[in-house]
Amino acid sequence: MYEVELKVRADHPTVRERLDELGADHVESRRQVDTYYNAPHRVFAETDEALRIRREEPADGAAVTKLTYKGPLVERESKTREEHETVVADDDALAGILDGLGFEPAATVEKDRVFYALEGYTITLDSVAGLGEFIEIEQEADESELEAVREGAVGLLSKVGLEADEQIRTSYLGLLLAVEG
Amino acid sequence: MYEVELKVRADHPTVRERLDELGADHVESRRQVDTYYNAPHRVFAETDEALRIRREEPADGAAVTKLTYKGPLVERESKTREEHETVVADDDALAGILDGLGFEPAATVEKDRVFYALEGYTITLDSVAGLGEFIEIEQEADESELEAVREGAVGLLSKVGLEADEQIRTSYLGLLLAVEG
């Protein structure tokens, strides 16, 4: 499976109006605060790994903390990575464990996400602290469907009044580090 | 707070009979499988730290996985350590995260524990895979009570027919590494 993903900057009030007109379903809203860690024995930027504590607050539910490890790309074409994630009960204890082992918080990405569903795509309106407002259009696809799904995403983007050639391929973490750097 | 703890080898059937006669309350039973990890950037045996995944099955409840970090002694007298522990939802994912980061399983301690309460002490009958049967007598104490609590533990041990001068100060992990080494 491949993940087709388009991300561009977007003015949310304008986009929300268009999504309503198009009949998009609001699925859920969620606040995510991600803390990315540095390792004491590796430079993750060089090894292409990531270690993250995600604190997630659904609009209508209890906060959840997750620990995630992303390994380097194992398959370049599909951007496949080894990824392991588990829910953790006590986020302070988890931060204490990482600190004790010599891992250090490197950057925090704080965002409010509103999820919509339309024409089989997941559309996410992200407000990212320090970066601004974005829209992401996503769908999973087999290799044979890749081109069609990608064209569908471009079409959907243009229906909400945005251009695919403004596409941003850098992660929010990467954008933030560039701003701060 | 100090923890007064006495551990000796014990024949469980004999000890259980004595505990029944003394009116000890059976509190709970639990299976614990502890996997201790090595670090890629430190030798925990030298730094006096430990990183452990504990998989715990109560006799009457769902299995729970915990991640625990123990730092070096910060206070020699009371054996105080920095310790952080959290329940983790997915133990396979947790093992995958540690593996991805370069931590490796070093030793596993597998034990069945039966807990009793008697005269303010916690009495634990431990059956440890590869090591055999033990009894532990424990109670927390202020500095001023230390001597009395320690004498009480020795007295309790003698009531169940055992001698405090057979005391084992090495952890089960230490005993196992000595056996395997």
Q: Read off the pLDDT of residues A4-26 as tens digits, 9 standing for 90 and up.
A: 999 999 999 999 999 999 999 99
How many CB atoms lie under 10 A from the CB of residue A43?
9
Element (H, E) at A77: none
| CA distances, B157 to each of A159, A173, B94 (Å) | 79, 59, 39
Contact (CB, 8 A) for A103 and A39: yes
Query: Is the confidence at residue B77, as pLDDT, over 70?
Result: no
Calpha distance B88→B60 (Å, rounded): 20
Q: Read off the pLDDT of residues B99-156 as tens digits, 9 standing for 90 and up.
A: 999 999 999 999 999 999 999 999 999 999 999 999 999 999 988 999 999 999 999 9
Beta bridge partners of B63: none
Q: Indicate the pLDDT class of residue A40, thresholds 50, 70 and 90.
A: very high
Contact (CB, 8 A) for B97 and A67: yes
Q: Indicate the pLDDT class of residue A2, thresholds 50, 70 and 90.
A: confident
Contact (CB, 8 A) for A150 and A3: no
- CB-CB under 8 Å, B97 with A86: yes
- CB-CB under 8 Å, A87 with B89: yes
Q: Read off the pLDDT of residues A137-176 as tens digits, 9 standing for 90 and up.
A: 999 998 899 999 999 999 999 999 999 999 999 999 999 9
Instruction: Give me the residues of B, 62-101, that contact A with CB < 8 A.
Output: 67-69, 71, 82, 84-91, 93-94, 96-97, 100-101
| Closest CA–CA distance from residue A34 to any residue of chain B (Å) | 17
| 3-state secondary structure labels for all residues of A123-136 | EEEEEECCCEEEEE
- CB-CB under 8 Å, B49 with A100: yes
| Closest alpha carbon within chain A to B95 | A84
Q: Which of A36, A37, A116, A172 is catalytic?
A: A36
Calpha distance B71→A99 (Å, rounded): 10
What is the ipTM score, two decimals? 0.87
B135, two tokens: 């009894």
| CA distances, B176 to each of A51, A72, B2, B107, B129 (Å) | 32, 36, 26, 8, 9
**Is residue A116 among the annotated active site residues?**
no
Residues of B known to be catalytic: 36
